[in-house]
Amino acid sequence: MRLVFAGTPDFARVALQALRAAGHEIALVLTQPDRPAGRGLKLTPSPVKQAALDAGIEVAQPRSLRLEGKYPDEAASARALLERVAPDVMVVAAYGLILPVWTLRLPRLGCLNIHASLLPRWRGAAPIQRAIEAGDARTGVTIMQMDEGLDTGDMLLERTVPIGQTLTAAELHDALAQEGGRAIVQTLATLAQLTPRPQPEDGVTYAAKLDKAEAALDCTQAAELLVRRVRAFNPVPGATIRLPGLADPVKVWKAQALPGVGEPGRVLNATAQGIDIATGEGLLRLLELQKAGGKRQPVDVFVRGWQPD
């Protein structure tokens, strides 16, 4: 098919490359404007833009697609491009811009979204992280026919992915990205045979955008929840905890929950096996940490350089 692809991060790049490998014509790529990155805050293209440029695909980076919004000239230019390309389908994956009605109606067969959850659970911005945080046993990818709502469109295809007990958001992201690429290729190959299914009204949940304020672990909560948050916030925003003797919070990259009791927040043991902190329910054992400005360290290395008050 003749496609327009709209996406920005690495999750979307995987799908773009899968579509190219399947033989589809990617006539145009829409992606977010370049953003400052790294210590020098150099303007850096998104993973999708870089992949498109490497493949010789035309790229557009409007700041908005709303013709009556803040950047109407950029939106009008994008519309002219899309009308010239006249795609059969627009495939959308973690694009980062809301598609107005004119965009949804322009492709001959509409707009298809690759969403990283089993809808209607975890509509919204952070479905991967919220699934881990909530303790879900499984998640997956849904290919959805887009409408004007927030991840409310009819479903065309789903693929399920289990969430293991130790899986981090980074690992789950990579697994779902691969499934998303396979799912969108399968959807386009069988589109004429697929029957759109309305999303169930029961089971709707929303995956709120991650906030840096969530990074700080609250030891009045249960250890099991805190461990899930460590996994869910790896790598971004990164879970943090305050330890005695250190002025700045420490990032926690790996932890486990153990039975035990104590005053929430109190360090009960600090050995090469782990730093045990009492919580509202059970003990939180820290296994991999990172001081501010330092490198990630296994706990046996960390404790050798840590002198609590």
Segments making up each domain of the chain, as ranges: 2-207, 212-304
For range 224-232, the mean pLDDT? 98
pTM of the model: 0.95
Beta strand residue intervals within 33-154, DSSP E: 35-37, 42-44, 59-60, 89-93, 111-115, 123-124, 138-145
Q: Is the pLDDT of residue 308 over 90?
A: no
Topology (CATH) of 2-207: Rossmann fold (3.40.50)
Q: Is the pLDDT of residue 132 over 80?
A: yes
For range 291-304, the mean pLDDT? 95
In the chain, % of residues over pLDDT 70: 100
Q: What share of the chain is helix, strand, coil (3-state, %, to 5)?
A: 30, 30, 45
pLDDT band at 41 (very low <50, low <70, confident <90, very high): confident
In the chain, % of residues over pLDDT 90: 96
Q: Is the pLDDT of residue 309 over 70?
A: no
pLDDT band at 40 (very low <50, low <70, confident <90, very high): confident
Average pLDDT taken over every residue of the chain: 96
Pairing of strands 296-298, 283-290: antiparallel
pLDDT band at 6 (very low <50, low <70, confident <90, very high): very high
CA distance 138 to 175: 12
Class in CATH terms, 212-304: alpha beta
